[in-house]
Structure 1
Amino acid sequence: MRRRLGLALLLAAGPAAAQPRPDVTAMTCAAAQALVARAGAVVVTTGPATYSRIVRDIGFCTIEASTRPDFERTRDVADCFVGYRCVDRFSEGRDGP
């Protein structure tokens, strides 16, 4: 009986409800920096239809990637350093394949 109850509860919960991405444009620069520092890697909303994955350090990137500083518009700073973006060190900046 317990096994069925546990399974029923698990199925009733379903997939986790999607949580909205944090919006850096609504945060202060310090709050955005603290979010990245605390989370390590986070996908944030950067505009009405844009988003970015920001990381604390290279440890949150794949082995073939390096980091590039990421500056975003926040509520109080137009060009706030929030962390880094992971970039492919072999193809970043090249056009085409």
Structure 2
Amino acid sequence: MLKRLLIVAVAALAATAATAQVGPPTSQRTCSANRQLVLKEGAVVLDTSPSTYARFVKNGSECLFGQFPEPAWVPSSNNPQCFIGYRCRDGVEDF
């Protein structure tokens, strides 16, 4: 019984670690690949440099109450300023 419990625990840890891994930085993917990832997932955290991570969303419905979507650009392998989607910002929009 203890052996089965240990196997289940190790499998759960391995699955958690696999989902927590970060993919390649945005600069190592094409602009369209970065954009498609955001569109597919709806909201995703990506690394934009060796020490910078940010959450990108496909539209404002992915933002929390009181936040608004702000256009976001990231470096990609074929475009230094690739429009990837939006970032959620606190506050209200000024029009």
Determine if the TM-score, normalized by the shorter chain, exceeds 0.5: yes
Moved over 4 A (4+): none
Please list the CA deviations of residues 54-85 of structure 1 after superposition, one character each: whole Å capped at 9, or x if unmatched: 00011111011001000111110011100000
Q: Write the letter of the residue equivalent to 1:87.
A: R
- Paired residues, number: 89
TM-score, structure 2 normalization: 0.81
More helix by share: 2
- Residue 60 (structure 2) aligns with: 58
TM-score, structure 1 normalization: 0.79
Aligned partner of 1:42 among 33, 41, 44: 44
Q: How many Å apart are 1:27 and its aligned residue?
A: 0.6
Q: Write the letter of the residue equivalent to 2:30.
A: T
Aligned partner of 1:74 among 76, 79, 90: 76
Task: Provide the C-alpha distance between the structure 1 equivalents of 2:82 and 2:22, rounded to a whole number of angstroms.
Answer: 22
**Uncovered stretches (5+) of structure 1, i.e. residues with no partner:** 93-97
Q: How many Å apart are 1:10 and its aligned residue?
A: 2.6
**Uncovered stretches (5+) of structure 2, i.e. residues with no partner:** none
C-alpha spacing 1:37/1:22, structure 2 compared with 1 (3 Å): farther
Query: Sequence identity, in percent?
Result: 36
Which of these two proteins has the greater Rg computed from alpha carbons? 1
When the two chains are superposed, the root-mean-square deviation of aligned CA atoms in Å is: 2.1
